[in-house]
Amino acid sequence: TASGRAAVVTLAMAAEPPPPLGPPVLPRLTEEGFGDKFLRKTRENPLVPLGCLCTLGVLTYGLISFQRGNTRRSQLMMRARILAQGFTFAALLGGMVVTALKSRQ
């Protein structure tokens, strides 16, 4: 019968020895240096370094204005620094949310 032949073929296939096991192939891990990690993180979330640079630029300009005695511009730059820091923080949180959503999928 047809079902009897299928059972014989299945038993014959199961009777063969399994293929030999070789050493497992493991992925090669390399040490990631500071520069490599910085570039990888910058590619993942480019808004964070941009926010840091904006914060640094506004802070520097505010300190220069303060040193020159331009208190109005200095105060304006200190307020702009807070906005730039807020942008950086929002970019950091946004990147964390995107990473968490990617890892769930």
Q: Is-contact 84 33, C-beta < 8 A?
A: no
Q: What are the tens digits of pLDDT across the range 63-91?
A: 999 999 999 999 999 999 999 999 999 99
Instruction: Find, among 99, 103, 100, 101, the residue nearest to 45 by Cα.
Output: 99
Quickly count: other Cβ atoms within 10 Å of residue 84's Cβ: 21
Cα angle: 62, vertex 89, 45; to 5 degrees: 110
Q: Is-contact 81 58, C-beta < 8 A?
A: yes
pLDDT band at 28 (very low <50, low <70, confident <90, very high): confident
Kindly tell me if the per-residue pLDDT of 57 is higher than 80: yes
Q: Among residues of the chain, what percentage have pLDDT more than 90?
A: 49
Query: In the numeric block, which tokens belong to residue 4?
Result: 């009897």
Choose between 18 and 89: higher pLDDT. 89
